[in-house]
Amino acid sequence: MTDYQEAIQTPRVCLADAELREGAPELDRFGIPKAISGNFAVVFPLTGSHRKWAVRCFCIYHPDQEQRYAAISKYLQRNPMPCTVDFEFLKQGIKIKGQSYPLLKMEWVNGETLSAYVERNLADPRGLWALAERFVRLACHLRRLNIAHGDLQHGNILIVNGEIRLIDYDGMFVPGLEGMPSNELGHSNYQSPRRTRSDFGPHLDNFSTWVIYVSLLGLSIDPSLWDRLGAGEERLLFRREDFEDPSSSEALYALKQSDDETLHRLARQFQSFIQRDLPDIPPLNVSEIPPFPAQRVTPPSEVAMSTEISEPKAPVWIQDHLSPVPLVRIRGPFARQRLLLACFVSVAPLLAFAVAFGLLALTIAALAVAAGLALLLTVFALQFRDLPELQQKQALLLRLQGTEADMNDVRRAIERLKMELQELTLDEGKEVTTSKARQAESAKSEREELEAVDLNLQQALASVNQRRHALVRSQTTELARTLRSLQNQHVSSRLAQYYLSSAAITGIGATMKKRLSSAGVRSAADIANVRVTQTGWGRYWQQVAYIEVPGRGNVHVEGIGPKKAALLLAWRRHIDSQLRSSIPNSLPHAQQSAIESRYERDRVALDQEEVVVREGEEQKKDSVRQKSSQERAALVRRLQCAREQLAKKRRPLERQIGEMRRQIPEKEWAVANTQRELLAFRRVNFVEYLKGILLSGR
């Protein structure tokens, strides 16, 4: 990679393409071309006069590389897709130490990797669901064109203004490459463990598309999976171990234990694909996309809403690789200082002589020496303060203090912004909690109102059924009564045809029959019943028989006692029993139809009343449901609006934090560099200054 960096520094000399030769490489803070390393290549951003390019230099050489890219380029030109980027394979694109090597010239795309985009949008389940839908449609479009990317994973999928773009076409299959082996096996966290280099065809992406689709849909349904499964480190939800041992896969277990039926079904479906060969795995289909639940609300507590933004460490490590700064020493001339020192030293013997001969007290001499030494050091200190080396050191110290103060100010500002972000997150959590409570209250109210409507309906239907049963009973009673009346009329009309005058009844002769005829008893129809009473008093009691004659009441006939009356009644009953064996068992059809028709009208009226009651209650239910649905929709809209407002407030804060975070490494570098420069002035101090005066050659 170092050779590539050195060559990219001079594009006019080392690059063969005319547009790239006019470009300028993007540099890092150390003035070195910025490099983005991958498994098989390293990419350098290069800004031309009109466009920005990604210069892709290969770290691994494949003999058929040119052939593959030629076929890919030709096929994509015939079948352009918005998800691809422009590229050109240059066989002799870059020259390093006199030797030409191939490179890939690609359109630069400003976007987020799939994993970064997903992590940033965990609080937007609908957005993740929409991304899953777009991904499925993209996969279906690639399959219709018989194209397979070969290494679909988070780093090769960029989200640009909400749209999906694919990069890195090293392992792509297009028609025309049949029979070739795959030149790579793709990212292990997205590929089937059963994939081999012989797998190279339109089916190549079948497994990885399912991995990404299940992950996106799972996170749209349950964003907490991101934190629970430790996603984001070179993967979405799955790692290779999940495919090698599905039975112990934490990710598959979490998906299958979900309360969401769609996610539960999808996880089991995906698990069944793991042990299949790539050609046997079905491709994604648009019909796989379930509808997004309109009332799904995900509280921030279930989402990876971390506002802790880690700050990158300053590149202090590079200090160990930089050339040491030359040590700065205090240099002379020290002529004036040494002259002053010589004067001070020459006075000392004179004072000693004066003390020795009693010319000067010892105390005064000592004070004079001390005063002279203090004066000498003061003069030296004043002269030391004016040294250019000391002034340079002090300037560096001031610069260090200022830079550290600026860095601390930035850090404090970041902490304040983080606190504001945390407050926004708490506000969002409160909104979600309030919304859920209100939705639960609305659902409870709806349930209670529907139960009340059901109770009213049951009471109304019970009343209708009671009247319906009463109607059936009335009809049955009337039909039975009418039939009995008809039967009685039948018997009565036949009894009148059995005349007493022609009957042979023991004890009832012609004379007695005349008496009975005179009393109105002429046929069997005239004998309804017989009643025997006792009359008289004392020892003169006697039984008197009365014959009940229809229309005339009870009649007593002279000579008819209890025995003869009983014989008459037995005769009548014998005839009655004979006649009843031939009476009709049902009403005439017209008569029965008339009665049933009259009751049928009442039944129809009751049926209509039941329909009206049911329709009315159903309308009430619909009204209750519609009202509750509108309330919940309003709550969802209110929550969504609140989230959008909080997101608007959050974005500038995150942007400010990002901008300030970018300042931290630069300031840490400045601090470290200043400290490194200060090390060169470690000998610039008063002690070293005095040593320089006292010791020659210093």
Report how far residue 571's alpha carbon sits from residue 589's, in angstroms, rounded to the nearest whole number. 34
Q: What is the pLDDT of residue 293?
A: 60
Tokens in use for 90? 């240059």
pLDDT at 509 over 80: yes
More confident site: 666 or 114: 114
Whether 75 contacts 176, CB under 8 Å: yes
> What residues contact residue 47 under an 8 Å CB cut-off, 6+ apart?
23, 24, 25, 26, 53
Whether 360 contacts 349, CB under 8 Å: no
The pTM for the full model equals: 0.45
Quote the mean pLDDT of the chain. 84
Output the CA–CA distances (angstroms, integers) from residue 659 to 237, 407, 670, in the order listed.
30, 13, 17
pLDDT at 320 over 70: no
pLDDT tens digit sequence for 448-459: 999 999 999 999
CA angle centred on 110, ends 156 and 78, rounded to 5°: 65
The predicted model gives 467-471 an average pLDDT of 92
Residue 1 pLDDT grade (very low, low, confident, very high; cuts 50, 70, 90): low
The predicted model gives 552-576 an average pLDDT of 89
pLDDT tens digit sequence for 384-413: 888 888 888 899 899 889 988 998 998 898
Q: What is the pLDDT of residue 455?
A: 92
Report how far residue 475's alpha carbon sits from residue 688's, in angstroms, rounded to the nearest whole number. 131
pLDDT at 193 over 50: yes
pLDDT at 698 over 60: no
Residue 384 burial (CB count, 10 A): 21
More confident site: 229 or 570: 570
pLDDT at 434 over 90: no
Residue 261 burial (CB count, 10 A): 9
* Residues composing the chain: 698
Q: What percent of the chain has pLDDT over 90?
A: 19
Specify the pairing of strand 542-549 against strand 157-160.
unpaired
Report how far residue 594's alpha carbon sits from residue 480's, in angstroms, rounded to the nearest whole number. 14
More confident site: 69 or 654: 69
Dihedral class, residue 215 (left if φ above 0, else alpha if ψ from -120 to 50, else beta): alpha
Cα-to-chain-centroid distance, residue 305: 13
Q: Which helix (H) or strand (E) holds 671?
A: helix 589-679
Tokens in use for 251? 């990710």
Q: Could you please report the per-residue DSSP string of 71-112?
A: HHHHHHHHS--TTS--EEEEEEEEEETTEEEEEEEEE----E
SS3 of residue 622 by DSSP: helix
Whether 166 contacts 157, CB under 8 Å: yes
| DSSP structural state of residue 153 | S
pLDDT tens digit sequence for 160-191: 888 898 988 888 999 988 888 888 888 999 99
pLDDT at 323 over 80: no
pLDDT at 677 over 60: yes
| DSSP structural state of residue 33 | B
pLDDT tens digit sequence for 265-294: 889 899 999 888 888 999 988 776 777 664
pLDDT tens digit sequence for 326-358: 788 887 777 787 788 888 788 878 878 787 877
Q: What is the pLDDT of residue 481?
A: 92
Q: What percent of the chain has pLDDT over 70?
A: 94
Q: Which helix (H) or strand (E) holds 538?
A: none
Q: What is the pLDDT of residue 192?
A: 92
| DSSP structural state of residue 311 | P
Long-range contacts of 90-94 (CB under 8 A, 24+ apart): 90/16, 90/17, 91/66, 92/16, 93/15, 93/16, 93/17, 93/20, 93/55, 94/4, 94/7, 94/8, 94/14, 94/15, 94/16, 94/55, 94/57
pLDDT tens digit sequence for 2-48: 788 888 888 888 888 888 888 888 887 777 888 877 667 888 888 88
Handedness of CA 554, 560, 566, 567 (dihedral sign): negative
pLDDT at 82 over 90: no
Tokens in use for 448? 């209670």
More confident site: 477 or 334: 477
Q: What is the pLDDT of residue 147?
A: 92
Residue 297 pLDDT grade (very low, low, confident, very high; cuts 50, 70, 90): very low
| β-sheet bridge partners, residue 112 | 159
Q: What is the pLDDT of residue 79?
A: 87
Q: Could you please report the per-residue DSSP string of 345-389?
A: HHHHHHHHHHHHTTSS-HHHHHHHHHHHHHHHHHHHHHHHHT-HH
Q: Which helix (H) or strand (E) holds 616?
A: helix 589-679
Report how far residue 528's alpha carbon sits from residue 549's, in angstroms, rounded to the nearest whole number. 6
Report how far residue 27's alpha carbon sits from residue 11's, in angstroms, rounded to the nearest whole number. 13
More confident site: 340 or 477: 477
Q: What is the pLDDT of residue 570?
A: 92
pLDDT tens digit sequence for 638-670: 877 887 788 788 778 878 887 887 788 788 888
Handedness of CA 693, 694, 696, 698 (dihedral sign): negative
Is residue 211 exposed (0-12), middle (13-18) or buried (19+ Cβ within 10 Å)? buried
Q: Which of 39, 34, 45, 44 is nearest to 59 (CA)?
A: 39
pLDDT at 466 over 90: yes
Report how far residue 677's alpha carbon sits from residue 285's, in angstroms, rounded to the nearest whole number. 64
Question: Which amino acid type is present at position 614?
Answer: R
Question: Which amino acid type is present at position 459?
Answer: Q
Tokens in use for 236? 């979405």
pLDDT tens digit sequence for 117-168: 999 888 888 889 999 999 999 999 999 999 999 999 998 899 988 889 898 8
The predicted model gives 367-388 an average pLDDT of 85
Q: What is the pLDDT of residue 322?
A: 52
